[in-house]
Structure 1
Amino acid sequence: MTHVTPLANRRHLAIEHDGHQRQFAALWLRERCPDADTLDPRTGQRLIEAAELPLSLAIESAEVTDNRLQLSFSDGHRTAFDLDALFGEVPSDPPRRLWDAAGAPLPQADFSAACEDDSALLEMLEALHRDGFVVVSGVPAQVDGMQPLIDRIGPLRRTNWGGIADVKSVANAYDLTMTQRGLEPHTDNPYRDPIPGYIWLHCLTNAADGGDSTLADGFMAARLLRERDPEAYATLTRVTPGFRYHDADTHLESEGPLIELDSYGTPVRVRYSNRTEQVPALPPEELEAYYAARQAFYRLITGEELTLHLKLNPGQMLIMDNYRLLHGRSAFQLAGGVRHMRQGYVDRDSTASRRRTLRQRFATSQLKGEPA
């Protein structure tokens, strides 16, 4: 049963449909009218200039026929919405599954299958979105062995490191990743704009003593901090430190909170980089609050409650969500053998686009009873 009630001089519309109640602004409905006069049928892009609609726009009439909301607006336009679609409008991504060490998943994928089969590729990308990481096996033991799978998703992000770069101990290292030192949990490159979305870490050999990878779910850390210390959580969403990297040929700077929220107040990105953070000289009271909050967050992301330990084998690759996961490694000794990784970046837009288009294609094929 559906009930429709105009409100606020007919500039709002209250709708009760299948037990759910929502209010819609007349302007919002008008600019999203699903008809060919408002939206281009092929591209779905808006044909009218929404900013030129009269701010006093009202709904002249509203009635429901065969599960369709028939509307007439004060500018003379008429349209019809499918009620299920109107109420079912949700973000195009499924929810993420947050985890701690005890409940950590271990999503896995096969390199050849993901390269050759779209359903296997979609399964890998869905796991990456859901869990924040995936371990891919069977990667060719070549310096650019990951490239064919990257080509299935989007362009390789080139940086001052190049394209796919070595991660191994070298003499006169120009970055701490190129040493045998253990690395604290961190996100990569918060000094870039945009920050690389996904890290691809391919193991060529890992015979050194130590060198285990660590992962922590930054969104779970944010949730626990909000539950256990709301003031600290609020501080890390409000205070905006800077991040900086420079060498002889590069000078990069950016800024952003350690916990970044979207318009709904949900964490969408975490930043943590002890090596590159540059906190501004804020008032002492605010700095004291920030340092205490940062310490509370640090204890979460380094504690065993959230830390997952992995040791990659030759031919395995770890793909990580750099907006969500914090990664690190234990120190290693070369007396036991060589540790040689190759690392590349792929941005979020191409990765998300590939996942969504594959999902839509398979969903459409299932509805039509056709093979995907």
Structure 2
Amino acid sequence: MSQSVTVNLQAQGRRLRIEADGHHRDYVPLWLRERSPDDATRDPYTGQRLVEAAELPLDLMIETADVADGQLKLGFSDGHLTTFTLAELLNEQASDSPRQLWDAAEAPHSKADFATALEDDSALLSMLDALHRNGFVVVSGVPANNDGMQPLIDRIGPLRRTNWGGIADVKSVANAYDLTMTQRGLEPHTDNPYRDPIPGYIWLHCLANAAEGGDSTLADGFMAARLLRQRDPNAYACLTRVTPSFRYCDADTYLESEGPLIELDSRGDPARVRYSNRTENIPALPAEELEAYYAARKAFYELITGEELTLHLKLDPGQMLIIDNYRLLHGRSAFQLAGGVRHMRQGYVDRDSTASRRRVLQQRLATPQAQGEPA
């Protein structure tokens, strides 16, 4: 390591302080002991823990701590010895690749090429990094057939199947089972908040878009949450606290789930937004709580529908829009079929498989592959 690092024991070995480049972090012995990277603690092949962490002594102490050549050697009061790589230890709490929140004026140009991402791991990683960072990516050159996006899904997937099947049509039909299958405009929304789990990513492939209207809209829900917290803290608090339910029913399906419009993670930051006017059901809360919720929801709605945050785009045939369904709200303008056909195909890919593929590619491309190792 290039940075200057010192360690010292405090509180009779109940704390280990690591100082690096003017900053310090304190560690608890049990936290270090259960994360010991040695083969006695973790299986060398799977990386999974071999010791039962709950059986480690609560009064565990660190008896020795030495740093040399970027390594931290520790001796614990239970007799265990282990060695950490300091760089990995100090990066333990580092967040994943940062997200970049945006408004309409600063909206990113998030683009990828289908054939290149299909064949080249670096291009696929670039696409997935952009998707994670910006919440969406527009992919060009998708084959103009019903399942044209399937090969790229297979590089990441699997495809999430629902009651509507796998890759499904999004076009106007008679006796539509959902408002997406009509010509009406759709307000900004997130998809399927009535499912558990909610699909992580929406893949929307354009086969034809000659109808008058039908432009897509996107709004960054995390940016909307940030602005709401700044401008109306009480409304923000209300939308993180009150939990509506969401329901979808037809002749063969009854789906229901619940969650706040702004869901926070363990650090208190937005982890997911929900908005679905068509399927939301707010319970009969006390009158004051309902009034506060309705005012807060209106304030959020005005943000996600306002031009400050709304990105307008119209997909061309052969283009595909991949959307982070936990973060972005999407909608469309109404369209008239007299001007031509509007035919989209849509599928879902879950969040865990997408994140896994991105992280595996990050690790693989950061390390030179062995000659002949398959990608």
Aligning the two structures, in what range does the TM-score lie when normalised by the shorter sequence? over 0.9
Are the equivalent residues in 2 in contact too, given 1:92–1:356 (CA < 8 A)? no
Q: CA deviation at 1:6?
A: 2.5
Q: CA deviation at 1:359?
A: 1.2
Once structures 1 and 2 are overlaid, which stretch shifts more, 79-88 or 49-58?
A: 79-88
Q: CA deviation at 1:82?
A: 2.0
Aligned pairs for 1:123-142 within 5 A: 123-142=126-145
Cα distance in 2, alignment partners of residues 143 and 88 from structure 1: 44
Cα distance in 1, alignment partners of residues 13 and 145 from structure 2: 66
Once structures 1 and 2 are overlaid, which stretch shifts more, 8-17 or 135-144?
A: 8-17
Cα distance in 2, alignment partners of residues 198 and 90 from structure 1: 26
Are 1:246 and 2:249 counterparts? yes
In structure 1, the residue matched to 2:91 is 88
Q: 1:275 is matched with which residue: 267, 274, 278? A: 278
1:201 is paired with a residue of what secondary structure? strand
In structure 1, the residue matched to 2:151 is 148
2:243 is paired with a residue of what secondary structure? coil
Counterpart code for 2:176: A
Q: CA deviation at 1:193?
A: 0.4
Are the equivalent residues in 2 in contact too, given 1:38–1:48 (CA < 8 A)? yes
2:156 is paired with a residue of what secondary structure? coil
Q: CA deviation at 1:10?
A: 2.0
Q: CA deviation at 1:139?
A: 0.9
Percent of pairs with identical residues: 79
Q: CA deviation at 1:65?
A: 2.7
Q: CA deviation at 1:284?
A: 1.2
Q: CA deviation at 1:371?
A: 12
Cα distance in 1, alignment partners of residues 68 and 15 from structure 2: 20
Q: 2:206 is matched with which residue: 169, 181, 203? A: 203
Are 1:187 and 2:186 counterparts? no
In structure 2, the residue matched to 1:237 is 240
In structure 2, the residue matched to 1:176 is 179
Once structures 1 and 2 are overlaid, which stretch shifts more, 111-120 or 8-17?
A: 8-17
2:367 is paired with a residue of what secondary structure? helix
Q: CA deviation at 1:16?
A: 1.1
In structure 1, the residue matched to 2:9 is 6
> Alpha carbon RMSD of aligned pairs, Å?
1.8
Are the equivalent residues in 2 in contact too, given 1:365–1:371 (CA < 8 A)? no
| Alpha-carbon displacement from aligned partner over 1:199-229 (angstroms, at most 9, x marks no partner) | 0001111111100000000011111111111
Aligned pairs for 1:204-219 within 5 A: 204-219=207-222
Q: CA deviation at 1:49?
A: 0.6
In structure 1, the residue matched to 2:303 is 300
Q: 2:360 is matched with which residue: 346, 357, 367? A: 357
Counterpart code for 1:117: D
1:365 is paired with a residue of what secondary structure? coil
2:177 is paired with a residue of what secondary structure? coil
Q: 2:225 is matched with which residue: 208, 222, 225? A: 222
Are 1:287 and 2:314 counterparts? no
Are 1:328 and 2:331 counterparts? yes
Once structures 1 and 2 are overlaid, which stretch shifts more, 5-14 or 77-86?
A: 5-14
Question: Gaps spanning 5+ residues in structure 1: where?
Answer: none
Are the equivalent residues in 2 in contact too, given 1:237–1:258 (CA < 8 A)? yes
Q: 2:125 is matched with which residue: 97, 113, 122? A: 122
Are 1:20 and 2:23 counterparts? yes
Counterpart code for 1:298: Y
Counterpart code for 1:285: E
Q: 1:71 is matched with which residue: 68, 74, 78? A: 74
1:142 is paired with a residue of what secondary structure? coil
Cα distance in 2, alignment partners of residues 92 and 20 from structure 1: 17
| Alpha-carbon displacement from aligned partner over 1:266-305 (angstroms, at most 9, x marks no partner) | 1111100001011111111111111111111100000000
Cα distance in 2, alignment partners of residues 2 and 136 from structure 1: 45
Q: CA deviation at 1:233?
A: 1.0
- For residues 227 and 366 of structure 1, do their structure 2 counterparts lie closer, same or farther at Cα, with a shift above 3 Å needed? farther
Counterpart code for 2:159: L
Q: CA deviation at 1:92?
A: 6.5
State TM-score, norm by structure 1.
0.96
Cα distance in 2, alignment partners of residues 112 and 285 from structure 1: 55
Q: CA deviation at 1:4?
A: 2.6
Once structures 1 and 2 are overlaid, which stretch shifts more, 196-205 or 88-97?
A: 88-97
Q: CA deviation at 1:367?
A: 12
Counterpart code for 1:145: G
Q: CA deviation at 1:68?
A: 2.1
1:97 is paired with a residue of what secondary structure? coil
1:102 is paired with a residue of what secondary structure? coil
In structure 1, the residue matched to 2:34 is 31
- For residues 206 and 325 of structure 1, do their structure 2 counterparts lie closer, same or farther at Cα, with a shift above 3 Å needed? same
Q: CA deviation at 1:197?
A: 0.5
Structure 1 residue runs of 4+, over 4 Å off?
Answer: none
Aligned pairs for 1:39-54 within 5 A: 39-54=42-57
